[in-house]
Structure 1
Amino acid sequence: MSLTYKRILVAIDGSQEASWAFKKSLEICKRNNAALIITHVIDTRTFATVEAYDRTVAEKAEKYAEQLMSEYKLHAEQAGVKEVFTTISYGSPKVKIAKEIAPKHHVDLIICGATGLNAVERFFIGSVSEHITRYAKCDVLVVRTNKDSI
């Protein structure tokens, strides 16, 4: 059994915790010479609250996701990660990351922030990181603090 990771998935949602998770993923990728898969899931349930489904809301979310992914990809490459991939999905982040995206990309480690952006969902349903930890078939690292503040 190997103690190194080959394919690392980091979940990005624009939150501060996700940014910390990304920084940690860069360190682990470089130490393990691993590929990095950066993912963002556009939560389609947020569109359900929009009266008469407004296409521009979805387009803005998509544009934001693409911009976020390209910035993170560039940052990872500049930091010295040799293989960097990005993926944007639609649906429930907690379900997509653990049950679809990670298996599809054969990842052996998922890294995510402790909280993320959606406080209402956390209160009623439980956090995305909690769900990923429960359902992922690989190791999960939940990042709680900024590495610079330790």
Structure 2
Amino acid sequence: MEAISRVPEQNRRVMVAMDDSEESFYALNWALDNVFKNGPSHEEEEEEHSGVITLVNVRPPFQPFVYPTGPGVHHIYGVVVVFATSTVIDTYRKSQQQMAKVVLSKALQMCKEKMVKAETLVVEGDPKDKICQAAEEMRVDLLVVGSRGLGNITRAFLGSVSDYCAHYAHCPVLIVKPTPKESPRVAP
């Protein structure tokens, strides 16, 4: 946090990766409370903090359905690929747009309540790559991502957006992980 504190707050550009998870909203709230903690004085209550938070939402691209073939069915490479109709693709895209709208609307409201100027960015692609690319193109001072707390095995097979960003983003990355008592997950 020392490096980000050297950037004057009025020039500070922070990007927060947002999806529909509780962890991303927790990360946003943490950033609002800690990165922009120097709030307005009581005389300036109606003025916004200086600096900008960019809320980025990445929509994964539509993938065709891939099914392994069973015994007795002969196809190239043993896989059947089923392509979706244009109606299914349109429905998927509309659903993704609606989800992005809901997520970013809620996030913008949180920023407004904390009087922090915010802007939104919606992109399509692999979240890991697109978040890092957007942070680099916008030259942000800090990238904030939430942590879902994936186990070692899941993280090894699926990868982790936060781990990827920590290794490949061209700016400081803050991974916000809730403490166990603040964890948004319900214990089994």
- TM-score between both structures, scaled by the size of structure 1: 0.83
Task: Spell out, residue by residue over 1:11-40, the C-alpha distance to the aligned partner (whole angstroms, 9 max, x if none).
Answer: 011112111101111123423643100111
* Structure with greater helix share of residues: 1
| C-alpha contact 1:109 1:140 (8 A) present in aligned 2 | yes
Given the alignment, which residue of 7, 15, 21 partners 1:15?
21
Give runs of ≥4 in structure 1 deviating > 4 Å: none
Structure 2 Cα separation of the partners of residues 94 and 121 of structure 1? 16
Structure 2 Cα separation of the partners of residues 48 and 128 of structure 1? 19
Structure 2 Cα separation of the partners of residues 139 and 122 of structure 1? 22
Task: Spell out, residue by residue over 1:24-59, the C-alpha distance to the aligned partner (whole angstroms, 9 max, x if none).
Answer: 111234236431001110011xx2145415210111
Aligned residues: 144
Q: Which has the higher Rg, Structure 1 or Structure 2?
A: 2
- TM-score between both structures, scaled by the size of structure 2: 0.67
Q: Which runs of 5+ in 1 are unaligned?
A: none
Structure 2 Cα separation of the partners of residues 128 and 116 of structure 1? 11
| C-alpha contact 2:149 2:177 (8 A) present in aligned 1 | no
| C-alpha contact 1:43 1:92 (8 A) present in aligned 2 | yes
Query: Residue in 1 aligned with 2:73?
Result: none
Given the alignment, which residue of 127, 133, 139 partners 2:160?
127
- The alignment's C-alpha RMSD in Å is 2.7
Structure 2 Cα separation of the partners of residues 30 and 147 of structure 1? 24
Pick closer, same or farther for the CA change 1:8–1:37 going to 2, 3 Å: same
Structure 1 Cα separation of the partners of residues 109 and 22 of structure 2? 18
Query: Residue in 1 aligned with 2:175?
Result: 142
TM-superposed deviation, 1:131: 0.4
Query: Residue in 1 aligned with 2:129?
Result: 95
Given the alignment, which residue of 115, 123, 134 partners 1:80?
115
Same amino acid, percent of matched pairs: 29
Alignment of 1:28-67 (within 5 A): 28-31=34-37, 33-44=50-61, 47-50=62-65, 51-53=83-85, 54=88, 55-67=90-102
